[in-house]
Amino acid sequence: MCAKKKTSKKETSKKIDQLSNYHLDGKDQPMKTRQGLKVNDTHNSLKAGERGPTLLEDFLLREKIHNFDHERIPERIVHARGSAAHGYFELYESIEDLSKAGIFTDTSRRTPVFARFSTVAGSKGSTDLARDVRGFAVKFYTEEGTWDLVGNNMPVFFIQDAMKFPDLIHSVKPEPNNEIPQAASAHDTFYDFVTLTTETLHNHIWVMSDRGIPRSLRMMEGFGIHTFRLVNKKGKAHFVKFHWKPKLGVHSVTWEEAVKISGADSDFHRRDLWDAIDQGMFPEWELGIQVVPEEDEHKYDFDLLDPTKLIPEEMVPVQIIGKMVLNKNPENFFAETEQVAFLPGNIVPGIDFTNDPLLQGRLFSYRDTQLSRLGSHNFHQLPINKPLGDVHNNQRDGHMQMDIPKGRTAYSPNTLGGGCPYLNGETDGGFTHYEEKIEAHKIRNRSESFSDHFSQPALFYRSLSDWEQKHVAEAYSFELGKCEVQTIQERMLWLIAQIDKNLSDTVAENLGLQVPKDIDKPINQAIGADASEKKHQPKKKKNYLDSSEALSQSNTKFDTIESRKIAVLASDGFSMKQFKKMKTALEKEKAIVNIIAPHGGTIKCDEDMTHKVDASIATTESVLFDAVYIPGGKKSIDKLSENKKFIKFLNETLKYCKAISVDKEGEQLIDMSEIKNFKNNDAAIFVNGKASDFISAIANHRNWNRAKEAQNIAV
Ligand code: HDD
């Protein structure tokens, strides 16, 4: 047997090397047909005479059109809209006492990864800024095989049992009669389902919070959601939950911004991820684990197997064990991002499943769906899905077989093939399932330990800051405001009241409705007399923890402005000295500085130097930026003052609570906007201020103290 070869940190990545064998570069190459024939004309079909009919003989035309006719494959039934990148995972310290997985014991490895982020409900071409859960799927190409951690940006899921997944998705997708609305949960069928399936309420309140509209895919947390198992060399298992913590903190936009961004740049998240990697600002997440000894399985007020529950970090702290860095964009969207197939069933020795009924169902669904999406059970042979190293087994043939297996034998056991490929025992790295003792009745039911549907949504809501709670109330009001059936709105109001009375009162007022006194019976009737859920739900909430810090974005990191986009509003004659000073300070902190001018092309500063304009004001919007800076220069300011869109730009920046810095002469411009009413009393507005203060204000993401007063600015 070959000696084990370690992946050295100096190698780019074994996966990138493997993929590069498949790269095709047409540079300096002749055009050929699919059978390798050089092509002389790809513009005209073969005709009987210049003005005559096209001939069936035209194999060049047929091949070109035939390929075109088949370019599309079915989009993913969920998570159709996504963006992905390559990178690596590094372990800080071995956790061999918990797991025998090479990825968790060998700190010298750089394990190649491919991560795909997605929205759930929308089609492939829908906006990035939909209010939705975000998929956070990571494929680790480990030396022992591929491990897929297919998670989301929220730590809990909508439902508890895979059996309900088709119902959930059918309710949230566009309604089947008119295919409306696209990429939106704000419609009757979704709330009909949610109100009759109260286990959804926890994930739902996360979606109603700012987590549902991230500022960037790079500024989201990721969660494996299910409780998994880590298994060590001795066969001892621990329960584990996986967390991804972003280096840039967790930040979001407001709903109004999301709506505007969808119009201004519906690829906002995709572009942001691509540009950051392209510019060498590689997104990073630390991997954390929450570990629960098997003997503590029943210690908590919730069931560890229930995927609608999180373990508060106050109860089980997150232990950081490594980091993921995304450092390379795909070469080809279709071949990599579209064809990548994640399977929660892809695990490696040292990691194992639990009996979470949602996870168990997923183990079937993902392999199955690839057949209709990718068309062949050989999808694992696609370059992006191939594990590192060759694969030998007795599985054969079928559509699109790309390997050429040699030899007479395709069965086991055999002597004619020398007994190969041979089986591996545990000590040789063969996967062995964790031996779990199960004594049970075969039963179609839900455990009563899954039936508390209100305690954790209430804990989440209590843990939010005032501004976050306000956003949640606005989100519920918007979503229910879009529903047309009043009984559905009322059922939801009643359920929100079980989470928090003030919240439901605010939403009811916005809807012009009353919170009903009792809706318990109609809900149970609608669920059906025999449904297992009816026996247990909905239960009154418990309060086992007042609040949990990690649940609020107001407790995230505010220590960096890396890759934040700063709009510099300038025209001919702007002050080079002031601009240069600010630009140098911002770029030192790795922010991206863009000049926005009254026109495209170039502008000249007061030192007569030419500067490239990044966008004309006519082609961009303030919602695409994190902060605004206006350099001095009387001529420049006069010119900007002539164009009302700059004033709108400033008012919007103000309204969405972002940092604003102007040099002294720029005051003339901000005094034409609403900023004049805020500038003397706002921690994120600077007139002739210090660059360092502006930088801290950008790092704080937003000045929410301004929100109440600024909310009525008309833009
Ligand atoms: Fe799923 C895709 C995440 C439950 C069935 N799911 C998919 C993707 C993510 C998740 C991130 C996109 C992967 C990619 O980028 O290609 N799904 C989750 C999480 C769940 C979950 C975190 C619960 C904790 N999913 C779930 C259930 C089922 C599915 C219970 C079915 C019973 N999911 C699918 C699917 C998809 C999918 C239909 C669509 C495309 C694909 O699998 O490859 O099979």
What domains are defined for the chain? 82-182+215-381 (2.40.180.10), 455-554 (1.20.1370.20), 558-710 (3.40.50.880)
Count of other CB atoms within 10 angstroms of residue 709: 15
Distance 78 CA to ligand 1 centre (A): 7
Our measurement of the distance from residue 10's CA atom to the centroid of its chain's CA atoms, rounded to an integer in Å, reads 29
* CB of 157 shorter than 6 A to ligand 1: yes
Residue 152 annotated among the catalytic residues of the structure: yes
More confident residue, 71 or 519: 71
* pLDDT of 664: 96
Task: Show Cβ contacts of residue 516 under 8 Å, excluding neighbours closer than 6 positions.
Answer: 490, 491, 493, 494
Band (535; pLDDT cuts 50, 70, 90): low
Ligand 1 center–CA 65 separation, angstroms: 34
Q: What is the DSSP letter of 199?
A: G
Residues recorded for the chain: 715
Q: Is 362 annotated as a binding residue?
A: yes
d(CA 268, CA 334): 19
21-64 pLDDT per residue, tens = 999 999 999 999 999 999 999 999 999 999 999 999 999 999 99
Q: How far is the CA of 194 from the centre of ligand 1 (A)?
A: 19
ipTM of the complex: 0.99
| Contact residues for 142 (Cβ-Cβ < 8 A; gap 6+) | 101, 102, 103, 111, 348, 388
- The string over 121-155, giving b where at least 16 C-beta atoms fall within 10 Å of a residue's C-beta and e elsewhere, is bbeeebbbbbbbbbbbbbbbbbbbbbbbbbbbbbb
Largest CA distance in the chain: 89
Report yes or no: 350 and 101 within 8 Å, Cβ to Cβ.
yes
Atom of ligand 1 nearest to the CA of 307: 24
**Which three-class secondary structure state does DSSP give residue 440?**
coil
Q: Which residue CA neighbors atom 9 of ligand 1 most closely?
A: 135
Q: Is 43 annotated as catalytic?
A: no
**Predicted pLDDT of residue 541:** 87
Q: How far is Cα 247 from Cα 135, in angstroms, rounded to an integer?
A: 18
Whether 366 has a binding-site annotation, put simply, is yes
Q: Whose CA is nearest to atom 30 of ligand 1?
A: 162
Asked which of 438-447, 497-506, 537-546 is least confident by mean pLDDT, the reply is 537-546
Per-residue pLDDT reduced to its tens digit, 621-662: 999 999 999 999 999 999 999 999 999 999 999 999 999 999
Q: What is the DSSP letter of 441?
A: -
DSSP state, residue 334: I
Q: Would the annotation count 165 as a binding residue?
A: yes
What local confidence, expressed as pLDDT, does residue 518 receive? 80
3-state secondary structure 401-412: CCCCCCCCCCCC
Looking at per-residue confidence, does 603 or 541 come out higher? 603
Q: Among 169-178, 207-216, 514-523, 630-639, which is the least confidently predicted range?
A: 514-523
pLDDT higher than 50, residue 294: yes
Residue 84, both tokens: 């992905």
Residue 138 CB less than 6 A away from ligand 1:
no
Q: Residues 100-104: what's their mean pLDDT?
A: 98
Residue from 433, 415, 408, 413 nearest 423 by CA: 413
Please indicate if the annotation marks 373 as binding a ligand: yes
Strand partners, 151: 136
Name the helix (H) or strand (E) containing 191: helix 188-196
pTM value is: 0.96
Least confident range from 145-159, 188-202, 234-248, 526-540: namely 526-540
Write the DSSP assignment of 72-101 as a string of letters: --PPPSSS-SEEEEEEEEEESS--TTT---
Q: Per-residue pLDDT tens for 695-704?
A: 999 999 999 9
Summary mean pLDDT of the chain: 95
Q: Whose CA is nearest to atom 22 of ligand 1?
A: 151
Give strand pairing partners of 88.
Answer: 112, 325
